[in-house]
Amino acid sequence: MSTAPFQLKPFSRRQQQCLLWWREGSGHEHCRIMLADGAIRSGKTVAMIFSFLEWSLTRFSHQDFIVAGVTAGALKRNVLEPMFRILDTFRVPWTLKRTEGKILIGSNAYHIFGADKDNAQDKLQGMTAAGAYADEAALFPRSFVDQMIGRCSVAGSRIFMNCNPAGAYHYLKTDFIDRADEIGMYRLHFTMDDNLTLSPEIRESYARSFSGVFYRQYILGEWVSAEGAVYPMWDDTENTFLLGEDLPAAPAERGAGKRFAAVDYGTANPCVFLDVWDDGKVFWILNEYYWDSAARRRQKTDAEYAEDLGAFLEGDPDVQIILDPSAASFRTELRNRGFRVLNARNEVREGISTTAVLIGNRQVRAERSRTPCLQREMHGYLWDPKAKLRGEEKPLKERDHAMDALRYLCHTKTDRWRRCPSLQT
């Protein structure tokens, strides 16, 4: 398996501290844990990969190591691919044992783990490791982090962790960062200025790609909690429009663009369809369907919902349906009827971040007279205060069905160029 050469760039002072912290004379060689946290695109990961590889290969032989990411896919993208390129550039032999889930480098074995489930810690049971590398550790269950640290019992073992900040009550903040001296941890806080490869234009584009609490976490690198309204940037005038005045009424008159239907499926809970016209810059929400079985005292079948969706879209065969990925039975019903169905991306926190940016940029606009349920939910969509105290960032699961459909639309059909209109040409 060959890879493209790794393009070496100058390291910033903060990256050099990450590279050298475990060496004698650094002043931090006594620490057992190193946590690099801070802004996105701040150069944390590359410096940590170099540091972890050099430390493990020069200090140990014939030992086992833990390499963990929130999912196997994220780990491959964020860590393993650049790691393989670094090894190839320096002509260090390595072998990937896919079926065994490990990488052999020299005489050492680096075991690959995903940490996205509450029972992920079970994968580590019985293992004795000389060290660990944890990518995006703030997304790991606490049980996995505790087990990972406990498994590193070889003399001289070290734990390397990196992450973007989460809430102020997250366990990495309260039990690690705030107790760094007590537990023997070296904390390195990164900003975008610590990545010397970023141009001012790129930094600005990333800054414009987030808003609210996500701007403070991802751009400023602060451990702050989300509270109050999820979308405080929503404006009842700027984020709405009247069909026939701000946008032509007939689909044929709307010009170039695409039509989508965003669907949040529900049986006992409300079922929502959003009729959306996308002109490439703005998602125009033309109409909504909202069936609340509890209020109507009647649940509908998949077949009935499919009939309703066809009528809602006026029989238009070219509409792509963006569907709640958990709605397996409804997806089958729609496909059997010839609908074009796409499973929505369902990462809640990331999806809310994307939707918030589009709302703030006035790139989401709802028809004022035809979307009353969406507008009502928008004003009542709040962060869960109890989840905040647990170090989590979750919206209240109340009156959020149109909000889920909107999130599916925005997160599934948005790229960085739409998030940052100034980059569009």
Q: Where are the alpha helices (DSSP H) in 72-175?
A: 72-75, 81-89, 142-151, 171
* Mean pLDDT across 280-285: 93
Cα–Cα distance measured from residue 183 to residue 177, given in angstroms and rounded to the nearest whole number: 9
Nearest to 246 by CA among 343, 362, 122: 362
Cα–Cα distance measured from residue 53 to residue 73, given in angstroms and rounded to the nearest whole number: 21
Q: Are residues 203 and 265 in the same domain?
A: no
pLDDT at 419: 64
Query: Would you say residue 161 lies in a domain?
Result: yes
Q: Are residues 282 and 389 in the same domain?
A: yes
Tens digits of residue pLDDT in 334-350: 999 999 999 999 999 89
pLDDT at 256: 75
Q: Are residues 184 and 265 in the same domain?
A: no
Q: Are residues 325 and 251 in the same domain?
A: yes
Domain CATH number, residue 17: 3.40.50.300
- Lowest-confidence range among 77-91, 139-153, 241-255, 297-311? 241-255
Domain that residue 114 falls in: 13-209
Average pLDDT, the chain: 92
Query: Would you say residue 215 lies in a domain?
Result: no
CA 161 to mean position of chain CA atoms? 18
Q: Are residues 289 and 153 in the same domain?
A: no
Tens digits of residue pLDDT in 6-28: 777 889 999 999 999 999 999 99
Q: For residue 133, give both structure tokens.
A: 């590398």
Query: Would you say residue 222 lies in a domain?
Result: no
Of 209, 224, 255, which closes a domain? 209
Domain count, the chain: 2
The tally of CA atoms less than 13 A away on the side-chain side of residue 189 is 11
Q: Are residues 198 and 251 in the same domain?
A: no
Q: Work out whether strand 240-241 and strand 185-190 pair parallel, antiparallel, or are unpaired.
A: unpaired
Q: For residue 394, give both structure tokens.
A: 């979750």
Asked whether residue 422 carries a pLDDT value surpassing 60, the answer given is no
Q: Are residues 406 and 294 in the same domain?
A: yes
Domain CATH number, residue 259: 3.30.420.280
Q: Are residues 181 and 245 in the same domain?
A: no
Q: Are residues 162 and 284 in the same domain?
A: no
pTM score: 0.78
Query: Would you say residue 232 lies in a domain?
Result: no
